[in-house]
Amino acid sequence: MTLADGLALCLFASLLAALTLGYPVALTLGGVALLFAGIGTALGAFDPAFLAALPNRMFGIVANETLLAIPLFVFMGVMLERSRLAERLLTTMAALFGSLRGGLALSVLAVGAVLAASTGIVGATVVTMGLISLPTMLRLGYDPKLASGVIAASGTLGQIIPPSLALVLLGDVLSNAYQQAQLKQGIFSPETVSVGDLFVGAIVPGLLMVSLYASYIIWVAWRRPEAAPALPASERPSVAPKALLSVLVPPFLLIFAVLGSILAGIATPTEAAAVGAVGASLLALASGELNLKRLLETLDSTVKVTSMVYLILIGAALFSLVFRGFGGDERVAELLQGLPGGLLGALIAVNLCMFLLGFVIDFIEITFVVVPIVAPALLIMGVDPIWLGVLFAVNLQTSFLTPPFGFALFYLRGVAPPELLTSDLYRGALPFVVIQLIVLTALVVFPGLVWVP
């Protein structure tokens, strides 16, 4: 191992250690990178000319039209969250399915899927559904394990069901990685991968996961009726057909406008995100929930999330430059190509690494730091970029839900009533983790599940 190889390894290990200790992600990425760039320069193992590319990288990030979809999708999600859309949807779905055993759990799953397709933000969905539905489910006699598992699992659907923020970020990173891989192969007119392509590829896996979740809930309600009781007649609100349509139709129209315009090729993801932001504002206005205070709160949340994402992206760009300056990307490619099992062995190793990292760092950091390092090597080995992006998204979704470190579990624990035991929360999540692993395996065995435009 050369000095540069050792410094590249220490660079990555130091980054993980600093993130585990809780230091700010964006500043840690840039700070650790600059520290090792200085050490490498002093030891003659790093060429500081690599850092000269940072201004162009930063300009490219700010001018990237695809990334403009981030603030628009975040605005749409926060606006829908504050318009009490989830509460009205859940009440309506409970009126429709509450007479069935497991009907309330199915309603929670349906609303979670709609929110995932509307907002694409995991934390917002888990917290919203936890506040609205968990106390009611526990009060009506639902098994705490089933109730908490359904809410946490439905919340993670925002990771895979378009328009997912994770897919937007993965789409941009994989597009760059795919071009790098083609250039290394001597292809100087490289093909591109768009966020819209990734949205199309994620539709079937997302629907498959929702179907398997629903099947599990129905099975539990059949095998153990006491774990998922039907709602008493007194708890089932009556909903007139007109009111039913007024609650169900608007969110589906919004989803159709956003996804439909992308899938039909009418709009780019960024343009569709603008449509979604306007549509969410109109829904909030029509519901009477939009006022100046809530608009300012929504804008404030949007600016905070967007600033965080862009600052992490800039820090990740600096980190990748230093890592590449040590030759780390070449060592990673050699390592993956030398693993036993060939391509399958490399895929297993990368996904296992991402799965474990998902316990301690967020998907944004993994997307910006890990994916640019490993994706070019996998793409050179012949992996389809769209399939790889969907596989990564499902993998990260699984790590979000896996006890004891899954972020979705932390979100739900933070808003759950005291009577919900943490052990019940963990045990309730495990069946849904198994379902996600089944979907992950199915994507590997049957890659045709991911539509490639």
Q: pLDDT by residue for the chain (453 residues), tens digit each?
A: 688 888 888 888 888 788 777 777 778 888 888 899 888 888 888 888 888 888 888 888 777 777 888 888 888 878 877 777 777 777 777 777 777 888 888 888 888 887 776 655 666 677 777 877 888 888 888 889 998 999 888 888 878 888 777 888 888 888 888 887 777 777 766 777 788 888 888 989 999 999 999 999 999 999 888 888 887 776 666 666 776 777 778 888 888 888 888 877 788 888 888 888 898 888 888 877 788 888 898 889 888 888 888 888 888 888 888 888 888 777 877 888 778 878 888 888 888 888 887 777 777 778 888 888 888 888 888 888 899 999 999 988 888 788 877 778 877 887 788 888 888 888 999 999 999 999 999 998 898 899 876
Q: How many helices (H) and strands (E) does the chain have?
A: 20, 0
The sign of the torsion formed by the CA atoms of 390, 109, 152, 67 equals positive
Structure tokens at 445: 């065995």
**What number of CA atoms fall less than 13 Å from residue 430's CA on the CB side?**
7
- Cβ–Cβ < 8 Å for 106, 97: yes
CB under 8 Å to 57, separation ≥6 — which residues?
314, 317, 318, 321
Confirm whether 5 is domain-assigned.
Answer: no
Q: Rounded to an integer, what distance in angstroms lies between the CA atom of residue 98 and that of residue 79? A: 28
pLDDT per residue over 169-209, tens digit each? 888 888 888 887 777 777 766 777 788 888 888 989 999 99
Assess if residue 7 is contained within a domain: no
Of 26, 448, 48, residue with least CA distance to 208:
448
Q: What is the C-alpha to C-alpha distance for residues 452 and 439, in angstroms, rounded to an integer?
A: 18
CA angle 77, 362, 134 (to 5 degrees): 55
Under 8 Å between Cβ of 137 and 412: no
Long-range contacts of 232-237 (CB under 8 A, 24+ apart): 232/140, 235/94, 235/98, 235/140, 236/94, 236/95, 236/98, 236/99, 237/91, 237/94, 237/95
> Which residues make Cβ contacts (< 8 Å) with residue 295, sequence separation at least 6?
none
**Spatial distance between the Cα atoms of 84 and 96, rounded to a whole number of angstroms:** 19
With respect to residue 27, please indicate whether it lies within any of the assigned structural domains.
no
What 8-state DSSP symbol labels residue 367?
Answer: I
Per-residue pLDDT, 209: 93
Q: Would you put residue 186 in left (φ > 0), alpha (ψ -120 to 50) or beta?
A: left
Q: Looking at the domain assignment, is residue 205 inside a domain?
A: yes
* Residue 6 located in a structural domain: no
Look up the pTM and report it. Answer: 0.85
Structural domains in the chain (count):
1
The pair phi, psi for residue 74, each rounded to 5°, is -65, -45
In a domain, 14, yes or no: no
Q: Looking at residue 233, what DSSP letter applies? A: G
Q: Other C-beta atoms within 10 Å of 121: how many?
A: 26
The stretches of 21-68 forming alpha helices (DSSP H) are: 25-42, 54-63
Element (H, E) at 446: none
Which tokens sit at 112? 């979670």
Amino acid letter at 402? T
- Helix runs in 140-194, H state only: 144-155, 165-184
Q: Hey, what are 442's tokens?
A: 């199915």
Does residue 21 fall inside a structural domain?
no
Sign, CA dihedral 164-170-173-174, equals: negative
Q: Which domain holds residue 363?
A: 32-449
Q: Among all chains, which residue has been given the structure tokens 């608009």?
A: 295
The residues, ordered by sequence, that sit 6+ positions from 69 with a Cβ below 8 Å of its Cβ are 163, 168, 195, 269, 270, 272, 273
> Is 187 part of any domain?
yes
212 neighbors 435 (Cβ within 8 angstroms): yes
